[in-house]
Structure 1
Amino acid sequence: MLADLISRNSDLQRLQDDGYSVEIVHKTGLHLLVHDVPYLNAQRTILRGTLVCPIFLKEDGLTNASANHQAWFIGEHPCTVNGLPISGIVHSSGRNDMGDGIVTDHGFSTKPPVTGVYPDYHAKMSHYVNVISAPAQHVDPQATAKLHKPILTTDDSVFLYADTASTRAGIGALAGKLSPLRIAIVGLGGTGSFILDQVAKTHVREIHLFDGDAYYSHNAYRAPGATSIAELQSPESKALRYSRIYSSMRRGVVPHAEYVTEENVEQLAEFDFVFICVDKGAVRELIANVLIPRGVPFIDVGMHIQMTKDASTLVGQVRTTLCSPKKHDHFARRVPTDDTQLDNDYGMNIQVTELNALNAIMAVIRWKKYFGIYDDRMQEHESVYAINTHMITKDEKA
């Protein structure tokens, strides 16, 4: 991907051709680093630091330096020949985790005097290098950032193209919290497929899909995206279908075209997190009885939807239940496991796509809270959205 990025963008290639020590880091974000930039510190000693900026891309994969004029620096604050901070670039100081192991010390801000925007990254980075290096070159004319070292690239991302959304938002460090995880989604019906749609766009290392069903026309009306009639004329396994679709965006989507049974349930104990998205209580209980003793956290999702007595409207609830090593004693009283006792029209296949999506979104938000992406003040392990009262409960707090 990075070789293609450089070949498509002459500004990145020109930085290398000029002899700058260029590194492009593509993991949870996409960053451009120029190492070995000479500068003077407050003691008027010549040191070398690293200039950093995120790479923004247009829809066609071409760079878009005009999206942000700022840059960041790893090292002491560059100073003038008098030992004072260079005032023309001063913006902020303090450790800033940009993700991908990139922690900067200072933030700089300067714009081209005429246009106010940089036409490309060669213009941007060379301008900042010139400003930072000028005092050092005044002391030693041989001090240069153009050492003609080979370009470095770090391309460990699960994605087949750069996650510029995290880079643009400045949340690369947060996004990286999920990158070591191997997760499983059991059940790829309405809610499970929407959960996949969300977690596939995170940096989790692997997503394993368990479902023995085929994908039919009724599934198309409660799943993300649109399904062509040609697809429905030759139904394929849900697990294989969704793996194929999301593998066009990322690596690590692994299909298991099988139901979870007593014969294979132990596989789930190998994952860091499991989403249970099935409507059979016995299967929920089977999975929970394996995961809870092993200390594997999981979320069970469910709906309880009924017709009103006059059959004029639907009422019901959307449930999200987290079980973690810290708290799991509520599973038996909160999660329905007795299939014979369900008074639930959902079991008659009443499924509404917006409720499937809502159930999935609530589950993914709770999952991200658990792993420290979102602030989690309540520590609730059970939440229920009531449709007719438009209320969300927060129960079973850890």
Structure 2
Amino acid sequence: MQSALISRSPDLLRLRDEGYELEIRSGHLLVHRVPYVNAAGAIGYGVLVSDLTLAGDATVRPGNHVAWFVGEHPCDRAGRAITAIRHGTAKFDLAPDITAQHAFSNKPPAGYPDYHAKMTRYIEIISAPAQSLQPGLTARTHRPMAADEAESVFRYIDSASSRAGIMAVTAKLSGARIAIIGLGGTGSYLLDLVAKTPVLEIHLYDGDLFQQHNAFRAPSAASLEELHAKPTKVAYLAALYGKMRRGIVPHEVFIDETNMGELVGYDFVFLCMDSGPAKRLIIETLQAAGRSFIDTGIGVELKQARLQLWGICRVTTSTPDQQNHVAQRVSCAANDDDDLYARNIQLAELNSLCAVMAVIKWKKLCGFYIDDDREHDSTYTTNTNLLTSDVTP
């Protein structure tokens, strides 16, 4: 309930986005780590509490102006109790799991219009003496808030979307089951981006080990101890991003004719694998089943005469109503020395750029980004800094 109530209540959402440590518990709003001065003239931290007036799953105007405090009674710089808000000192059992020691009363002539106004006004009064003793002290700690497992795939709340005011747009990505085939350079960066969206599940397919060279073209930084452990790519990455979210499922296998059928059960598939018969079979299977997918490829050449590199990134999209172009854009030849995209020079910046291009296109298909051109094939070349898009049906 906590994250849903906050996201649907503008006043609570504003408090959270401003960095206050909120908690919803037993029908009450709690703001933690509120600094104050105690009777000894020392700085302490308490919890400001208010009951909540709700209309369904959102707050409405506070039903009363009273607030409670867990901690010692706030004082001025000299250690004298702030009497302007004093309402009572006792044991206030507000709920089975909430007991306060003090009640406060500070009522504006027109009352409080919302909980942001109510809580920030009390915090201002309580914290002013502490801030005069220690400038910069604040209740706005920006401490990460845990997300409810029943409400979110994330282990902590997506405050980035709420702060940007794009929660409704981001919700378009929720609920999907995604598969990433190949967790090398491009695939690992693609996971980094997709893991930060509210898709329901991300399935990872790769049978290779995560080795030393992989660490130089993957996001984050693997430790020497992790490399010594010789994890598979999918196990290593699932553990890494499992710190942030739920629903990452590692499959320590390659895709072949024995498990090909699993792919048609996903809402979208990203192909980040080498050319070869397996890729051809995957493409044919997905297209026959009417599944949308994106194939990625990068190619890098060493120009010996100039001792410089030339690179290209390609992102090819297939949807049920636009798929005939794929055979001309994507090579499935095995060990084709003439296939630029099969060459083995890999660079983190090109891997990550290719992943970014693929995720932006996927988000366009989901309605997240405006897609006026509806391109189905894009390439970027390093030497001319040129990004081209093909929209030919």
Normalising by structure 1, we get a TM-score of 0.66
Q: Secondary structure of 1:332's partner? A: helix
Measured in 2, the distance between the counterparts of 1:197 and 1:23 equals 36
Candidates 7, 14, 21, aligned match of 2:54: 21
Measured in 2, the distance between the counterparts of 1:397 and 1:300 equals 17
Equivalent residue for 1:306?
301
CA RMSD of superposed structures (Å): 3.0
The number of aligned residues is: 286
Q: State how 1:69-88 maps to structure 2 within 5 Å.
A: none
Distance 1:125 1:328, change over 3 A: farther
Conserved 8 A contact 2:212-2:227: yes
Distance 1:346 1:384, change over 3 A: closer
Q: State how 1:28-107 maps to structure 2 within 5 Å.
A: 33-35=58-60
Q: Does 1:370 align with 2:365?
A: yes
Candidates 193, 206, 210, aligned match of 1:211: 206
Q: State how 1:145-156 maps to structure 2 within 5 Å.
A: 155-156=150-151
Q: Secondary structure of 1:362's partner? A: helix
Equivalent residue for 2:378?
383
Measured in 1, the distance between the counterparts of 2:335 and 2:207 equals 22
Letter in 1 for 2:237: Y
Q: Which moved more, 1:387-396 or 1:207-216?
A: 387-396
Measured in 2, the distance between the counterparts of 1:201 and 1:167 equals 14
Letter in 2 for 1:18: D
Measured in 2, the distance between the counterparts of 1:178 and 1:2 equals 21
Q: Which moved more, 1:223-232 or 1:305-314?
A: 305-314
Q: Which moved more, 1:386-395 or 1:301-310?
A: 301-310
Equivalent residue for 2:184?
189
Q: Secondary structure of 2:338's partner? A: coil
Deviation at 1:396, TM superposition (A): 3.6
Measured in 2, the distance between the counterparts of 1:342 and 1:321 equals 21
Distance 1:9 1:228, change over 3 A: farther
Deviation at 1:304, TM superposition (A): 1.9
Conserved 8 A contact 2:314-2:380: yes
Conserved 8 A contact 1:178-1:204: yes
Letter in 1 for 2:365: Y
Measured in 1, the distance between the counterparts of 2:161 and 2:207 equals 34
Measured in 1, the distance between the counterparts of 2:54 and 2:258 equals 55
Equivalent residue for 2:289?
294
Q: Does 1:235 align with 2:268?
A: no
Equivalent residue for 1:360?
355
Structure 1 portions without partners, runs of 5+: 25-32, 39-111, 127-152
Letter in 2 for 1:381: H
Deviation at 1:246, TM superposition (A): 0.9
Measured in 2, the distance between the counterparts of 1:367 and 1:350 equals 26
Measured in 2, the distance between the counterparts of 1:327 and 1:378 equals 14
Equivalent residue for 1:6?
24
Question: What is the aligned-residue identity percentage?
Answer: 42
Q: Deviations over 1:42-101 (max 9, x none)?
A: xxxxxxxxxxxxxxxxxxxxxxxxxxxxxxxxxxxxxxxxxxxxxxxxxxxxxxxxxxxx
Structure 2 portions without partners, runs of 5+: 4-21, 33-46, 64-107, 123-147
Letter in 2 for 1:6: I
Q: Does 1:323 align with 2:318?
A: yes
Q: State how 1:158-307 maps to structure 2 within 5 Å.
A: 158-307=153-302
Letter in 2 for 1:5: E
Measured in 2, the distance between the counterparts of 1:256 and 1:355 equals 25
Measured in 1, the distance between the counterparts of 2:263 and 2:343 equals 28
Letter in 2 for 1:178: L
Q: Secondary structure of 1:356's partner? A: helix
Greater relative contact order (CA < 8 Å, ≥ 6 in sequence): 1
Conserved 8 A contact 1:382-1:394: yes
Q: State how 1:106-117 maps to structure 2 within 5 Å.
A: none
Deviation at 1:20, TM superposition (A): 1.8
Q: Secondary structure of 1:355's partner? A: helix
Measured in 1, the distance between the counterparts of 2:246 and 2:392 equals 35
Distance 1:154 1:313, change over 3 A: closer
Q: Which moved more, 1:196-205 or 1:155-164?
A: 155-164
Measured in 2, the distance between the counterparts of 1:14 and 1:34 equals 18
User: Which has the larger Rg?
Assistant: 2
Q: Does 1:123 align with 2:114?
A: no
Measured in 1, the distance between the counterparts of 2:337 and 2:355 equals 21
Q: Deviations over 1:315-348 (max 9, x none)?
A: 1311000000110001110001112433257645
Conserved 8 A contact 1:307-1:345: no
